[in-house]
Amino acid sequence: MNVLRTKSVEQTLAETGEEGRSLKRNLKWWDLAVMGVAVAVGAGIFSVGAQAAAFHAGPAVIISFLIAGLVCGAAVMCYAEFASMMPVAGSAYTFTYTTVGEIVAWIIGWDLILEMMMAGSVISKYWGVYLNDFMHLMGWDIDTTVAVGPLDIDVAPILIVAFFTTLLVFGTKIGARVDGAMTVLKIAIVFFVIIVGFFYVKASNFTPFIPPSEPSSATGGEALTTQPLWQWATGMTPSVYGIPGILSGAALVFFAFLGFDVVATTSEEVENPKRNVPLGICSGLALIIVMYILVAIVTTGMVSYKELAQVESPSLATAFEAVGATWAAKIISFGIVLGLATVVMVLLLGLTRVVFAMSRDGLLPRALSSTGRYGTPAKLQMAAGAAVAVVAACFPIDVLGDMVNIGTLSAFTLVAISVPIMRRKRPELPRAFKVPGNPWLPILIAVANLWLMLNLSVLTWIRFVVWLAIGFAIYFAYGYRHALLGKKTEPVVPLEQ
């Protein structure tokens, strides 16, 4: 049994031309940039920053965002190098299949499925919550929750998932255009809120900028499961704020940068991918880092982090309410509804492209990678949409943000490690973009991502290990025996890249 068998780059590119399993190239670099912004400007920009400030870092959450943004930006460079060399669906899964081996690629693919399915369910669920909040703020007596026997089902997540699933079935370009229009509007709302918020900022709220470390208020089993893994492993007393709080805050707000690995999954649908994929991903990330830091400054400058900590689930709206600007709540609520809607679309797209790539390789049933008349995997798109909608509508969802983070960070870590491996294995391959400082910078990027993973909670790690165990069971029971790499297959003619 050779679980470390690898695919060649040439084979990977050739498989994109397989009849009935190829995707249509019609996206440009600005489509990717908009997708990145669309998926990143969601719940994170309106709530995660405030929560990290309240319970982890205080005003130093600005540093937490900067750390998370730099780590994400560094990882994005690794994605950009691979995407410029192999513009193929699957993102980190595909990249590691050609470098580290099949079993590692399976782990990454399985992690990405976890990340995108859970994130899609969580975001669509919250979209329903904020839609109801917005309607109540506007005085509309409408409730999207209906009782079906003993179950209370929220139909709002079903509607938003069904809407974007339909768009994606008819073509990625159509979905990107609708997503782009909504994204431009929500960016305008974010900058409007930032400008207004600066009028309420008080310098005194930034003092102390790094609050002194203090023991966590959690007790018993809760203290153990919510404590960062590295604190538990070193026997450190659970604490918040201080330098440890900045680091745990960075691990939390990393959720805000979710999406740029999702954008990389669309490489096979991009025109001139060797130029447009790196340009689109990096442009979108630069805008996101600026927006998040500005929001963090406004949130912590308008109200003391201690006051935010008194609210169970603080958000940007909490800060405006605290200074008496309740009128802003309606605008922010509308911005959240728009923001979360566009996130749902990009996550649905990313989820199907990862499953599509794994299916085309035979690790999952090959029927899932069939494309229809519109050049999209329509049946897979509908199945993924149904799964996300059912989970979001029928189950209470909490503490899944960390599960999304650990899936993303594990993928980032292995992609970074793969850069120097591929440079050594295939130095002659043309690379339109190269990560500088090889091999040391990619290694440092991998270490930084691993460190953020260690700042996630013990409970998150336990759940992650369980998910991996399920994945290994599926791989050894089905994936390894059906993988095309282990069979003799007829060569296929590659599309022009």
Residue with tokens 């669906």: 89
Q: Contact 418/85 with Cβ under 8 angstroms?
A: no
Look at residue 99 and tell me if it is in a domain. yes
**pLDDT tens string 296-335:** 888 888 888 888 888 776 777 778 878 887 777 777 777 7
Beta-carbon contacts of 150 under 8 Å, excluding residues fewer than 6 positions away, are none
Look at residue 176 and tell me if it is in a domain. yes
Give residue 55's identity as a one-letter amino acid code.
F
Give residue 346's identity as a one-letter amino acid code.
V
Provide the 8-state DSSP code for 367: G
Model confidence, pTM: 0.73
End-to-end CA distance of the chain: 34
> What pLDDT, on the 0 to 100 scale, is given for residue 470?
94
Residue 234 CA to residue 201 CA, distance in Å, equals: 39
Beta-carbon contacts of 355 under 8 Å, excluding residues fewer than 6 positions away, are 113, 364, 368, 380, 384
- When pLDDT is cut at 50, 70 and 90, the band that residue 475 belongs to is very high
Residue 401 CA to residue 405 CA, distance in Å, equals: 6
Structural domain count, the chain = 1
Q: Contact 190/295 with Cβ under 8 angstroms?
A: yes
The dihedrals phi and psi of 24, each to the nearest 5 degrees, come to: -85, 130
Look at residue 29 and tell me if it is in a domain. yes
Look at residue 51 and tell me if it is in a domain. yes
**pLDDT tens string 177-219:** 776 777 788 788 788 878 888 888 999 989 888 888 877 665 5
Look at residue 115 and tell me if it is in a domain. yes
Q: 190: domain range?
A: 9-486
Copy the structure tokens of residue 7. Answer: 């695919």
Q: Which of 491, 407, 312, 439 is nearest to 114 (CA)?
A: 407
**pLDDT tens string 225-251:** 566 776 677 777 767 788 888 887 887
Look at residue 84 and tell me if it is in a domain. yes
Provide the 8-state DSSP code for 44: I
> What pLDDT, on the 0 to 100 scale, is given for residue 227?
66
Name the 3-class secondary structure at 266. coil
- Give the dihedral sign, CA 75/341/404/56: positive
What is the phi-psi region of residue 171: left when phi exceeds 0, alpha when psi lies from -120 to 50, beta otherwise?
Answer: left
Q: Contact 85/421 with Cβ under 8 angstroms?
A: no
Q: Contact 354/90 with Cβ under 8 angstroms?
A: yes
Beta-carbon contacts of 485 under 8 Å, excluding residues fewer than 6 positions away, are 5, 7, 102, 361, 362
Provide the 8-state DSSP code for 313: S
Q: Contact 189/334 with Cβ under 8 angstroms?
A: yes
**pLDDT tens string 139-165:** 777 777 777 777 777 788 888 899 888
> What pLDDT, on the 0 to 100 scale, is given for residue 221?
53
Q: Which of 150, 46, 91, 77 is nearest to 436 (CA)?
A: 77
Provide the 8-state DSSP code for 218: -
Q: What is the CATH number of the domain that holds 388?
A: 1.20.1740.10
Look at residue 158 and tell me if it is in a domain. yes
Peptide bond into 208 cis (omega under 30): yes
Q: What angle do CA 129, 133, 134 make, to 5 degrees?
A: 120
Look at residue 470 and tell me if it is in a domain. yes
Q: Contact 8/98 with Cβ under 8 angstroms?
A: yes
